[in-house]
Structure 1
């Protein structure tokens, strides 16, 4: 850095008006010292020099070029032009330093190496007599102490550049030790990341290296030491010295916290950049979960007013219109639209259907569950069941008490293996030495051989198969409300066609096909009457044969089994999905922007829904949105975009956001709304893996951090080990900086 001297600097800011005027007229009376210029206190001789300088300024450009030998653009108030015009008046002094904060001038060399106080050293409180700075600078520069300090500085600078200082060896050792710890920390972070992603336990009964039960983390370190010299050296030091080895439980928790924090920061950054967001929350008490949501949003600095959707299950404490979570949030933010979980709706529809059909609920599914319990409780009975399989094995599924759509697996197993299951019951019932299992097997053989049970298996299997397909499609992360209602509409249409007696495209009535399947399954039964009840069972068989010979059996099948199930399912479908229909009424036109039937009223409805009831702020303007849609239709007439997401991609790809701001906002809000909370519920599966019965002492914070790492494991690929190490080092630093 250059400091130019030999010109008296300006006095301090207390300069009066006359001095300020003289500063404006002075041609060469300023000097840049650390970016500060000061006006000179001009004496008579300097005034004469200034007058001559003014005369020189008035000379023509040719005259100045002749005198200086070259043409120079001179500005008396621009310090960059001074050295070219006045080379004899400026000297580059790199040792002169000015402090803006203290308003003092220092000599770099003397301040560092001259222990005796002088006017330019730190011990002498440095120079501030601006009146005599020209003279004193020249005097100080010629002193012996200044020369000695200068020589010392030159020597030190050379040693620093060539790394030959007195502590160079210690610096090399320090750098080597720092590199060793960095490499070690990379291995620790990678190991903790691996264990957390796989939901594996860290600790054992012991925390000592090379102990038998010291846990997965220490065992992993021991395994790495066999192949990695860095880890081998560290474990050798850890076992031979009492110094810190960074393998303790506390360090593990701190590194886990750093990893989880890094993942959370990536998520929060993405949400903040997107502005609009939705939440998905699972079961808890209404008031408690609302407070937890608000506290968590404040913790991560997310604005509640930017929330545009909330997805919950359909429990009254979550979806209640008075004290439910969704209503409490709507009172604080009217634009946080509530979207009930479509998967929960579908499961509840099946549940309600089974409740309406009392005979089905009490007899059919209870019999299915008893069948599973009978064989699963006894290895002997299970072995007899497997003997009936021609090849492979027979698998029976448990009947779920919560997810009714998953009962499709249970009915499928019975439908495929019902004759073999009946044969196994008969074999157990006809055992040479009858016991309690024989009596129960005889009763179960009677129940599953009834034609009513066989018809129930066929009907429920076909209905639940269609429902299960829709349920799995609804769990997609890319599904939106319009696609959801389309799937529900297809399911409703299918059930109506079956109810009205239409076929599935092959010309045959669907119900007739179901009835034929039931009769075919019944014909595969090899009924051998039990010795305990020979007469009663034979009478049932004779009566069934007489009933089958009548021509009215299909009508009874329709009335007794098919119509009650279909009518209840259709009624509950319409009842359960009314709320989604209302949301589709608001946003549905965004799904088909190709349509020219979009009206201004549709845009007004959306504007009203996205207008705050408290502040009155609007997300979109209806009139502008309508005009933007009409303009945007000209761009997509011949394009292949067919979904709101594709429309939004096109806007961002071609930089059209400033042209279509309202349309962009409407599409973003629409795509933000959650259809199901299946992805949120899947996190509970990770929690079950993370905290099992062997890890019951785990605290809430550690559980949340491990779950975050495990659930969002894909985001860990974007986090470098150096980032985690720096975060860990910052948290462990003991230095405190005061301002």
Structure 2
């Protein structure tokens, strides 16, 4: 009797150490706040198991604050799971939730399994976020096992778990790792998909690359406008293996993976790919086949690729091509010498002008850059090129710089002889080297680049007419343009043409009374001012326009993660494992709930041991 009173006193002391779990309305439920589910502690009876009697140990309530004691059933259960958890499921799922436990001899095993598996899961998340290989040459010498052994020095439960002789119940096998990694990836993707489906529409971005095991991998990404936070996002959804690279095979693969992840594909309003024939083909390419299913999913060629192609095609001029070959040879001289490369990097870091130009190159790769900004910047470049072409002072400065470099290398400025019979050589007449190189190299290169920019970057897509809804461009918005906007977005507008015209008229009037300095100038700022309830048509049009991809930079960045995760020493990794580890590495700042991961893990398959208390 004295022993029983001491136990009850220990339980009351432990009760004061519990953190009270509060329900959403702010009130505390007795099941959650009291250690027994009642105000006064009961007497715990002894249970005869075999030839010996067993009693619930008070220390379990101190070390496991979720445990609650039922006096009517003389059993323990998980208070939060009993209160919030589902009431269905098999016998393993009901353990500690629907069906309380009074097997005091095995209670310790049930509790320690939960804590040990949680430590295993946290270690896997750590390795995934840091890009560490889980396995080594064998299963017992990898980072995963070694980190568990290191953590077990200060964790008695984990140490006892790792010292088990049974290998089947340790849950450290590659199959268990793959299952937990896959669940972590699904949780990350689930949050992204939830935000994407809340948005009125999204753009699909993808690219392909070959990994170190010569497997064709495709990176799946989405671009959408998050209405709640008023920001544009581009999110990586994972990798998928390409069985074939034909337009039909890739289309089926893309749509299947998006549907499998929970994306509502009918909300797709933009496609962003490179210019490969199987992607951009007019009749049998991916974008054409996708538009047969989703007619409003307009294709946009990656603007970064387009800019690169402009320069490549402009460099096909014979003299420019020879110059580029010489520059490539010089680049090899730096690339193959550590001393030369270090000196070059030091000089580049000290050149503020060069650093500024390098920062400008990254402009198109930012996810907050929309198509209107890309086209406007292209027009700026085109105008500057045209001005510099007609400015003799620009060429004189370039030629003087070339003479300065030539003199330092003991080269005399000259130009090739002119021969009338050699028709494949640039033979424009010139009196001096400056005139010759300007007529035969500078002007042809500038003219070619000017034409390429106009054709590849500044194209007249009908959807771009929505740019005149921006407050600073409303003075250029004619009735014909309003009709063009309505026709381009008619499937997404729940309005008649007359109603849309009236809404645009109210939109004009709103910004007439606002100073020009206070008018938003870009697409994202304009969407924030176009309230969804007051201007539903304009809001929908702008959301569609901002969701159209600008570049495939997000997909290409994911290939950097792929090469860090799947190396030549880890080339047997499956695509599912690669995708899960890639998601953990990309979204390393995201905090994953280990309890949620273990809950999904326990429900997904009937385990030999009860792992999670539901």
In the superposition, the TM-score normalised over structure 1's length comes to 0.57
Q: Deviations over 1:695-736 (max 9, x none)?
A: 11111222222223223334x32x31211111111113359x
Distance in 1, matches of 2:343 and 2:464, equals 50
Q: Deviations over 1:247-300 (max 9, x none)?
A: 111111110011011111112111221141110122443222111122123323
Q: Quick check: 1:187 aligned with 2:129? A: no
Residue in 2 aligned with 1:130? none
Q: Quick check: 1:246 aligned with 2:174? A: no
Q: Give the CA deviation at 1:607.
A: 2.4
Residue in 1 aligned with 2:328? 369
Q: Quick check: 1:676 aligned with 2:603? A: no
Q: Deviations over 1:423-476 (max 9, x none)?
A: xxxxxxxxxxxxxxxxxxxxxxxxxxxxxxxxxxxxxxx9x9998665421111
Query: SS state of the match for residue 282, structure 1?
Result: strand
Distance in 1, matches of 2:195 and 2:133, equals 31
Query: SS state of the match for residue 204, structure 1?
Result: coil
Residue in 2 aligned with 1:434? none
Residue in 1 aligned with 2:474? 595
Query: SS state of the match for residue 227, structure 1?
Result: coil
Q: Quick check: 1:305 aligned with 2:185? A: no
Root-mean-square deviation (Å) = 3.6
Residue in 2 aligned with 1:625? 500
Change over 3 Å in CA distance of 1:351–1:367 after alignment to 2: same
Q: Quick check: 1:294 aligned with 2:255? A: yes
Q: Quick check: 1:225 aligned with 2:152? A: yes
Change over 3 Å in CA distance of 1:168–1:267 after alignment to 2: closer
Q: Select 2:375's aligned residue among 464, 468, 485.
A: 485
Residue in 1 aligned with 2:402? 518
Q: Select 1:359's aligned residue among 319, 328, 348.
A: 319
Change over 3 Å in CA distance of 1:207–1:501 after alignment to 2: same
Change over 3 Å in CA distance of 1:186–1:342 after alignment to 2: same
Query: SS state of the match for residue 318, structure 1?
Result: helix
Q: Give the CA deviation at 1:640.
A: 4.8
Residue in 1 aligned with 2:283? 322
C-alpha contact 1:290 1:329 (8 A) present in aligned 2: yes
Query: SS state of the match for residue 723, structure 1?
Result: helix
Q: Give the CA deviation at 1:229.
A: 3.4
Change over 3 Å in CA distance of 1:543–1:559 after alignment to 2: closer
C-alpha contact 1:311 1:341 (8 A) present in aligned 2: yes
Change over 3 Å in CA distance of 1:722–1:621 after alignment to 2: farther
Q: Give the CA deviation at 1:334.
A: 1.6
Q: Deviations over 1:557-598 (max 9, x none)?
A: 31233212211111111121243x325643211333662442
Residue in 2 aligned with 1:506? none
Q: Quick check: 1:642 aligned with 2:521? A: yes
Q: Give the 5 Å matches for 1:344-355.
A: 344-355=305-316
Change over 3 Å in CA distance of 1:518–1:204 after alignment to 2: same
Q: Give the 5 Å matches for 1:439-478.
A: 471-478=361-368
Distance in 2, matches of 1:220 and 1:492, equals 56
Q: Highest relative contact order (Cα 8 Å, sep 6+), 1 or 2?
A: 2
C-alpha contact 1:335 1:611 (8 A) present in aligned 2: no
C-alpha contact 1:195 1:202 (8 A) present in aligned 2: yes
Q: Give the CA deviation at 1:541.
A: 5.2
Residue in 1 aligned with 2:95? none
Q: Give the CA deviation at 1:633.
A: 4.3
Change over 3 Å in CA distance of 1:372–1:242 after alignment to 2: closer
Normalized per residue, the structure richer in strand is 2
Decide which structure has the larger Cα Rg and report it: 1
Query: SS state of the match for residue 275, structure 2?
Result: coil
Q: Select 1:730's aligned residue among 592, 603, 611.
A: 603
Q: Select 2:584's aligned residue among 709, 713, 718.
A: 709
Normalized per residue, the structure richer in helix is 1
Q: Select 1:235's aligned residue among 162, 175, 178.
A: 162
Unpaired runs of 5+ in structure 2? 1-68, 78-98, 209-244, 416-429, 609-614
C-alpha contact 1:607 1:620 (8 A) present in aligned 2: no
Distance in 1, matches of 2:454 and 2:71, equals 86
Residue in 2 aligned with 1:605? 484
Distance in 2, matches of 1:572 and 1:202, equals 49
Distance in 2, matches of 1:241 and 1:467, equals 61
Q: Select 2:206's aligned residue among 281, 303, 307.
A: 281
